Structure 1
Amino acid sequence: MKPLTEQDLHNLAMNIVGKDLESKGFEFMAVNSKLKKNPQFVCLKNKKLHFIIVKAIAYPDNPSDYDVVFMETIKEHALKFKARTYYAGVGLANTKDLTTPLTKNDDYTINYNGLIEIV
């Protein structure tokens, strides 16, 4: 069985974060699931604009760690729109063997701690 591609893993992370945003009452204005196209979600909540960057993170890396310089760049862009900026890292690992790449048939473990606001 072929391992999931970087785009497949990104799409999986997007679905996880999208469901979380939906459950928290965010209204989707734009969704971009292409790799390296940022932000992935532009949302409204309480009449306020939110930019959300989603990253799929492979085990053993920590999904809560993010590229500070990159996120500052996104934050500067968001400020032009009076938007708040968030990072959503989603850790994904093969349930049977954390070091084995995921395939379409594998059960997977999720390590997602929600949105991290970039202030």
Structure 2
Amino acid sequence: MHILTEQELHNLAMNIVGKQLEEEGFEFLAVNSELRKNPQFVCTKDKKMRFVVVKAIGYPGDPKDIEFFKSDLNKMSEHALKFEATTFYAGVGLVNATDHNLPVYLDEEYIVDFDGLVEI
């Protein structure tokens, strides 16, 4: 069994967020899947630029708790102002569907906890 690495979990979270952005009509200008390099998505909608920071959160972490990333998000918001962009946080909780105490494995079921974008 292959345990998903931090980068693989990050990519999975990005795929989940990217699909939602597409469904909501966002147009992608840039995509960055490198860990700890923000933002992951630079996109536009209604002629407004948006920066989206994606974080994969493993159990028992709470994807809605942005306090842990607050300084990163504040820096990104300041950077976004230079581009007249709005910054969003996308926390994606990922957990093993069989046993929450086990890691997420490749080709095994997992549960996604994602409530959408949170404006910073």
Secondary structure at 2:17 match in 1: helix
2:86 to 80, 84, 87: 84
In structure 1, list runs of 5 or more residues that go unmatched: none
Match of 1:61 in 2: 61
What TM-score, normalized to structure 1?
0.97
Match of 1:8 in 2: 8
After superposition, the CA RMSD in angstroms is 0.6
State the aligned residue count: 118
Quick one: which amino acid aligns to residue 114 of structure 1? Answer: G
Question: Which consecutive segments of 4 or more residues in structure 1 shift more than 6 A?
Answer: none
Q: What is the CA deviation profile of residues 30-85 of structure 1, one whole-angstrom value per residue up to 9, with x for unaligned ones?
A: 00011111100000100000000000000111001122121111000000000000
Report matched runs for 1:39-118 at 5 Å.
Answer: 39-66=39-66, 67-118=69-120
What TM-score, normalized to structure 2?
0.96
Q: What is the CA deviation profile of residues 8-47 of structure 1, one whole-angstrom value per residue up to 9, with x for unaligned ones?
A: 0000000000000001010000000111111000001000
Q: What is the CA deviation profile of residues 93-115 of structure 1, one whole-angstrom value per residue up to 9, with x for unaligned ones?
A: 00000110011121000000100
In structure 2, list runs of 5 or more residues that go unmatched: none
